[in-house]
Amino acid sequence: MANIKEIAKLAKVSVSTVSRVLNDHAYVSGDKRKAVLEAIEHLNYSRNMSAVQLINGKTNVIGVMLPFINHPYFTGLVEGISAEALKNNYQLMLCQTDYNELNEINVLKMLKTKQIDGIIICSKHMPLDQIEPYARYGPIVACEDVGSSPVSSVFLDHYTSFRRGINYLIERGHRHIGFCLGRNNGVNSQMRRRAYVDALTSIQEAIREEWIFYQSYRIEDGVDVLRKLLQMETRPTALLVTSDQVAAGIIMEAGKNGLRVPEDLAVIGFDNQPIAEVFDLTTIDNQLYEMGSQAFRIAYDQIMKIRELPEYRELEYRLIERSSV
């Protein structure tokens, strides 16, 4: 491959002039510019971006840390990040961690070794304090509430949104309420569990652990949940389900077993995915696209030094009323 030197020679100019043309600098005369352009054309030249990155100390790449990509929650986030990245001439490094700490550390290390300019954490396993030391190498933005930290965040108040969901059910006469979560150790999950406990306590209902389901991510997990419900002597009359996919599975399987929604079982989903509309599912929209694009902006502004300090932005959830409650 040709390099800048050969272009300079062919165009009979210096390498700096070539560089100026390449970077659209002013102060290059028309004919020299033209000569350079012709040489570039003629030699089919392209910049070697590794060299550019070395000298600029910048890659124009943002790392996206997530456990797995094949879930609408994460693709929703990524769509938002991606749209904003495209506008700002940034690329995305997709880093699937499987919630494995070693993989997560590797992503952080990529920041330190300058393979990426910043990181957006869609979801993580490792504790925050292991992440924080890396914030000095570039902006890190989490899509969950991290409190005050060198790590920025865009988040929803999952405590309030979950309580809002439960209250909505209580207002409609439900007292036997269960819920389904993804992980049981994430920040978001813990806040939700707390909201659940507080809400049930306020109406003097006992917490029944058998009505709480973890590791529910996909439609087939919802099917499993419903089947477990069928085994119980006392069933909850309502379920808060932190993924529309899982809620859809529950509703599907309920239908197969002659359980009516919402009469026999009310369901509230989360995320407001297209599948929620198809299933006429009442759901809590938590603005994934918006969250992703804001996360990118925060990272970007920090890379560009438009802003120096970490930022914490709270987004509003919305309750979408349909007919599953």
Partner DNA sequence: CTGAAAGCGCTAACAC
Partner DNA sequence: GTGTTAGCGCTTTCAG
The C-alpha atoms of residue 188 and residue 33 are separated, in whole angstroms, by 56
Q: Does 226 bind a second copy (CB under 8 A)?
A: no
Binds a second copy by CB under 8 A, chosen from 132, 157, 220, 311: 220
Radius of gyration of the chain (CA): 26
Q: Virtual CA dihedral for 144, 147, 149, 150, nearest 10 degrees?
A: 40
Binds DNA by CB under 7 A, chosen from 24, 44, 55, 306: 55
Nearest to 236 by CA among 256, 201, 204, 209: 209
**Segment contacting DNA by CB under 7 A, of 7-15, 78-86, 119-127, 308-316:** 7-15
Binds DNA by CB under 7 A, chosen from 9, 51, 136, 232: 51
Q: Does 42 bind DNA (CB under 7 A)?
A: no
**Segment contacting DNA by CB under 7 A, of 29-37, 208-216, 256-264, 316-324:** 29-37
Judged by CB under 8 A, the number of residues near a second copy is 49
**Enclosing H/E stretch for 239:** strand 238-241
Phi, psi (rounded to 5 degrees) for 315: -105, 155
Binds DNA by CB under 7 A, chosen from 9, 34, 42, 47: 47
* Coil/strand/helix, residue 215: coil
Residue 82 contacts which entry, a second copy, DNA, none (Cβ below 5-8 A, type-dependent): a second copy
User: Kind of pairing, strands 318-320 and 282-285?
Assistant: antiparallel
Q: Does 274 bind a second copy (CB under 8 A)?
A: yes
Residue 43 contacts which entry, DNA, a second copy, none (Cβ below 5-8 A, type-dependent): none
Q: Does 206 bind DNA (CB under 7 A)?
A: no
**Segment contacting a second copy by CB under 8 A, of 56-64, 156-164, 170-178, 311-319:** 56-64
Name residues whose C-beta falls within 8 Å of residue 176's C-beta, 6 or more positions apart in sequence. 205, 211, 234, 235, 236, 237, 238
Nearest to 60 by CA among 119, 114, 117, 113: 117
Residue closer to DNA (CB basis): 134 or 155: 134
What does the binding site for DNA look like in residue numbers (CB under 7 A)? 1, 3-5, 12-20, 22-23, 26-29, 31-33, 46-48, 51-52, 54-57
